[in-house]
DNA sequence: CTCCAGGTGAGTC
DNA sequence: GACTCACATGGA
């Protein structure tokens, strides 16, 4: 067991990070640790005094994946001062934007459109079970490479519950397998050029492109606007709706240089608040 | 049973 | 650019 610590405090909330809807395949264990794969690298982590405890896995890989180098203090100082943003900050303290493997992130978000988080997870696991490579000690196989998926077929993906998303994932995998687009070298592009490049792929619009920018390319100012964030932005504008462009501009101005981080805290708070009012009536 | 979900793309103005 | 619609599936 390795306790990752550094000179400066590195708070992390493993639970908030892994349950905030940026990644979908990690499993909680009875001893309060979490097990999951980073690519095909098996990892098991827990948390002690807001520090990441590595129960299993290579420290360098985990350090990078959990983004322990992100300057959280600086990011928090840049949070907007309104009540909702500060409340989200308090509730999700230690939530980190992961550095996910590119293809895995792109693929799972292609399957995410018009789907609840719970079902995105079940599709991800179904794809792993049908097409992935087993890893010793992991509850689920590794996510299949795009080469592997490109050799697959639509029927297999329909069996994984993808519905109309099956064709998009398959075509995207085939484009990547052709080599016309290289997800790794795309990293050299500016955020706006990278967004445009990602959006040429079938099933990738502006929202999913922004998810991939934020979760796999470290573009911390990218703001995915889904139905939840859309509602939050309207509330921040005192009930005033707007066109996609207007709301995107508003989010960028209002949420600041780490807008993607702020967005993730707002999103996670909104979703966890929604689930609550259930056990309160029973208590007396 | 009805409602909704981390949207996208095609058609149209 | 912005608006409208169809698109599959399963959990609440």
Strand partners, A28: A34
Which residue reads 């998009």 in tokens?
A168
CATH value at residue A45: 3.30.310.40
In this structure, what token pair is assigned to residue A113?
């459109």
Of A2-16, A48-62, A242-256, which range is least confident?
A2-16
User: What digits encode the pLDDT tens for the residues A176-219?
Assistant: 999 999 999 999 999 999 999 999 999 999 999 999 999 999 99
Q: State which residues form the domain around A244.
A: 71-92+220-274
Res A1: pLDDT = 52
* A279 found inside a domain: no
Q: CA-to-C1' distance for A39 and B12, Å?
A: 44
Tokens in use for A231? 């509602």
**In-domain check, residue A129:** yes
Which pLDDT band holds residue A282 (cuts at 50, 70, 90)?
Answer: very low
pLDDT given for residue A276 in this prediction: 65
A20: nearest Cα among A203, A212, A277, A261: A261
Q: How many domains does chain A have?
A: 3
Separation of CA A112 and C1' B2 in angstroms?
A: 22
Residues A106 and A208 in one domain: yes
Question: A99 pLDDT band (50/70/90 cuts)?
Answer: very high
Cα separation of A78 and A55, whole Å?
33
Strand runs labelled E in chain A: 2-3, 27-28, 34-38, 41-48, 51-56
Per-residue pLDDT for A25 more than 80? yes
Q: Is the CB of A162 under 7 A from strand C?
A: yes
Does residue A26 lie within any of the structural domains?
A: yes
Same domain? A51 vs A107? no
Instruction: Tell me whether residue A49 is in a domain.
Output: yes
Q: What local confidence, expressed as pLDDT, does residue A275 receive?
A: 78
The strand B neighbours among A residues 192-251, by Cβ under 7 Å, are 199, 201-209, 211, 224-229
Report how far residue A150's alpha carbon sits from residue A173's, in angstroms, rounded to the nearest whole number. 5
Domain of A194, CATH number, reads 1.10.340.30
* Mean pLDDT for the stretch of residues A146-163: 97
Protein CB footprint (7 Å) on chain B nucleotides? 4-9
Nucleotide nearest to A242 in CA–C1' terms: C2
Q: How far apart (Å, rounded) are the C-alpha atoms in residues A216 and A220?
A: 10
Q: Which nucleotides of C are covered by protein (CB under 7 A)?
A: 1-3, 7-12
Residue A252 contacts residue A221 (beta carbons within 8 Å):
yes
Is the confidence at residue A44, as pLDDT, over 70?
Answer: yes
Q: How much helix, strand and coil, in percent to the nearest 5, is found in chain A? A: 50, 10, 40
């Amino acid at each position: 067991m390795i306790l990752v610590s550094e000179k400066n405090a590195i708070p992390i909330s493993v639970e908030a990070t892994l349950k905030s809807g940026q990644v979908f395949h990690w499993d909680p264990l009875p001893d309060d640790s979490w097990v999951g794969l980073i690519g095909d690298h098996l990892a098991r982590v827990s948390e002690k005094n807001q520090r990441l405890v590595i129960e299993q896995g290579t420290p360098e890989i985990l350090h990078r994946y959990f983004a322990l180098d992100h300057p959280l203090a600086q990011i928090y100082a840049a949070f907007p001062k309104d009540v909702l943003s500060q409340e989200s900050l308090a509730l999700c303290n230690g939530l980190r934007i992961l550095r996910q493997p590119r293809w895995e992130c792109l693929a799972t978000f292609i399957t995410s459109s018009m789907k609840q988080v719970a079902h995105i997870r079940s599709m991800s696991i179904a794809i792993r079970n049908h097409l992935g490579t087993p890893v010793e000690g992991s509850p689920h196989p590794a996510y299949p490479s795009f080469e592997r998926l490109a050799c697959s077929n639509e029927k297999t993906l329909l069996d994984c519950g993808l519905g109309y998303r099956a064709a998009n994932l398959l075509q995207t995998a085939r484009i990547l397998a052709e080599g016309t687009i290289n997800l790794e070298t795309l990293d050299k592009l500016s955020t706006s050029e990278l967004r445009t490049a990602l959006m040429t792929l079938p099933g990738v619009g502006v929202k999913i492109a922004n998810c991939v920018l934020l979760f796999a390319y470290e573009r911390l100012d990218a703001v995915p606007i889904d139905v939840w964030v859309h509602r939050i932005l309207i509330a921040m504008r005192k009930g005033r709706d707007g066109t996609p462009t207007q709301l995107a501009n508003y989010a960028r101005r209002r949420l600041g240089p780490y807008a993607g981080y702020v967005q993730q805290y707002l999103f996670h708070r909104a979703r966890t608040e929604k689930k609550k009012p259930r056990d309160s009536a029973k208590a007396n």
